[in-house]
């Protein structure tokens, strides 16, 4: 079986049963040998349908007599795939989107409802076409059976929009700005509210739009093995385009399709590793020096750990701590591929370590968080996190910083970082820690270049907003332990 839409349906069915979207997708892609174009289509349909779930459910609510949550789950999934293609995939002809969705219904237990599926999707298109003005594509107003044998390029009586979101949008939106943005861009209201309170309406909408884009892939070259010029040349010779990222001396960003990352020039040789630009900034903020003792308190899967080793010229000792052995194995594989010798792995929960007290020159606490700054990479994260889970994570973060700060020598440095944009996990954690820890203070680092328009607050912490810097959302702050500490 190599039908991309059927494979997307299988993956989405697993997601709706509780599987992580990336795991469900990978399971399907590993099982079938697909052409690159089909792999990309399956990936787009799965991630897109998960990301846009709220919008797609709203369309079902609007056009069907039964609300989305009242539909059989598999039928709801099929309707998601149909509406997603019609609304967001401009390269897929509307006729093909409708026909293949009707066929999915027929082949997955809903043969008696093909007319319903066909009619629902055509109703959406009719509203868009009748109100949308000048468009060029058309779709037959005939039944599903007649459409099934037609070529995608044929023209009929019903005008269809060509843009991903039609000129006239049939989606009905409420006046309330939180609900409007939540439905239009497919986010839970509580996340929209958190951003609105920090950014205001216009910036929040831009952030929502950015989070629904397909993610870029950045790499970090290993200066101990190569140069950025050598990596650029090797990739260019393989037909892979990259561009440099300002203020990040080791960073390159892929432009366009790369194919399998592991097959690209320099990967096996340890010339580079994949790491988002924002995460690379964290290592520069820590600014580790050769010969120092550094602790990465929540290290796996090791992107920041290996960056620390590179910045130290692989001289000194880095304790990479994490409580998840499987993720630490990934760190070990990466450090071996990059030929780094200074990293020592320690398995366990950093909140319970006592042997490191007053031993480290620098500590990185890249704290477990809700990941609200990286939701474009994790399609289902917006649906998995809740205000309750954020509160639990905030409690964990406070425990971690309180304990890992004891690892730092007098005069040493601790960097706290998260890939979330929620104040409860960022500003509030640091403010509470400083209120209870008079021997710590925020330090403005010298010599660390930050991307243009990075928010550097009067309090001294840094925030990267994705729609402004075009990289993952991050919070980071550098703290120094005063010399009169015990």
Q: Which residues are known catalytic residues?
A: 419
CA distance 124 to 75: 17
CA distance 427 to 459: 9
Residue 233 CB coordination number (10 Å): 12
Place of tokens 């366990």: 348
Residues 318/312, Cβ–Cβ less than 8 Å = yes
Strands 241-244 and 137-139: unpaired
3-state secondary structure the chain: CCCHHHHHHHHHHHHHCCCCHHHHHHHHHHHCCCCHHHHHHHHHHHHHHHHCHHHHHHHHHHHCCCCHHHCCHHHHHHHHHHHHHHHHCCCCCHHHHHHHHHHHHHHCCCHHHHHHHHHHHHHHHHHHHHHCCCCCEEECCCCHHHHCCCCCCCCCCEEECCCCCCCCCCCCCCCCHHHHHHHHHCCCHHHHHHHHHHHCHHHHHHHHHHHCCCCCCEEEECCCCCCHHHHHHHHHHCCCEEEECCCCCCEEEEECCCCCHHHCCCCCCCCEEECCHHHHHHHHHHCCCCCCEEEECCCCCCHHHHHHHHHCCCCCEEEEEECCHHHHHHHHHHHHHCCCCCEEEEECCHHHCCCCCCCEEEEEEECCCCCCCCCCCCCCHHHHCCHHHHHHHHHHHHHHHHHHHHHEEEEEEEEEEECCCCHHHCHHHHHHHHHHCCCEEECCCCCCCCCCCCEECCCCCEEECHHHHCCCCEEEEEEEECCCCC
Q: What is the dihedral of CA 44, 35, 231, 320, to 10 degrees?
A: 60
């Amino acid at each position: 079986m190599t039908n991309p839409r059927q494979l997307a349906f299988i993956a989405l069915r697993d997601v709706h049963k509780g599987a992580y979207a990336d795991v469900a997708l990978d399971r399907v892609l590993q099982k079938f040998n697909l052409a690159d174009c089909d792999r990309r289509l399956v990936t787009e349909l799965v991630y897109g349908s998960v990301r846009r779930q709220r919008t797609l459910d709203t369309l079902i609510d609007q056009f069907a007599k039964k609300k989305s949550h009242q539909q059989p789950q598999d039928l709801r999934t099929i309707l998601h795939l149909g509406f997603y293609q019609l609304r967001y995939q401009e390269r897929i002809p509307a006729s093909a989107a409708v026909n293949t969705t009707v066929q999915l219904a027929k082949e997955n237990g809903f043969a008696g409802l093909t007319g319903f599926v066909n009619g629902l999707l055509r109703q959406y298109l009719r509203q868009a076409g009748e109100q949308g003005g000048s468009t060029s594509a058309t779709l037959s107003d005939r039944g599903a059976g007649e459409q099934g044998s037609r070529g995608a390029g044929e023209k009929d009586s019903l005008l269809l929009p060509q843009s991903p979101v039609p000129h006239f949008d049939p989606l009905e939106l409420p006046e309330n700005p939180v609900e409007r943005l939540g439905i239009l861009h497919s986010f839970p209201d509580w996340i929209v509210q958190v951003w609105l309170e920090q950014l205001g309406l216009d910036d929040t909408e831009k952030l929502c739009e950015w989070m629904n884009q397909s993610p870029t892939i950045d790499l970090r070259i290993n200066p101990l093995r190569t140069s950025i010029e050598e990596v650029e040349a090797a990739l260019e010779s393989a037909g892979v385009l990259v561009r440099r990222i300002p203020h990040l001396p080791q960073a390159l960003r892929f432009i366009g399709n790369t194919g399998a990352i592991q097959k690209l020039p320099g990967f096996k040789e340890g010339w580079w590793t994949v790491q988002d630009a924002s995460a690379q900034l964290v290592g520069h903020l820590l600014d580790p020096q050769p010969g120092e003792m550094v602790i990465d308190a929540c290290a796996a899967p090791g992107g920041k750990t290996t960056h620390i080793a590179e910045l130290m010229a692989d001289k000194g000792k880095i304790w990479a701590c994490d409580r998840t052995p499987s993720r630490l194995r990934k760190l070990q594989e990466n450090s071996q591929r990059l030929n780094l010798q200074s990293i020592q792995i320690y398995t366990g929960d950093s909140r319970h370590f006592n042997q490191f007290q007053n031993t480290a020159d620098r500590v990185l606490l890249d704290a477990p968080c809700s990941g609200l700054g990286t939701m474009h990479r994790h399609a289902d994260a917006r649906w998995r996190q809740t205000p309750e889970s954020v509160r639990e994570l905030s409690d964990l973060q406070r425990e971690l910083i309180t304990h890992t700060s004891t690892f730092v020598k007098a005069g040493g440095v601790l960097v706290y970082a998260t890939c979330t944009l929620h104040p409860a996990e960022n500003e509030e954690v640091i403010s509470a820690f400083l209120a209870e820890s008079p021997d710590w203070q925020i330090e403005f680092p010298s010599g660390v270049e930050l991307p243009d328009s990075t928010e550097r607050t009067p309090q001294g912490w840094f925030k990267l907003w994705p729609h402004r810097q075009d990289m993952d959302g991050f919070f980071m702050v550098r703290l120094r332990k005063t010399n009169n500490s015990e």
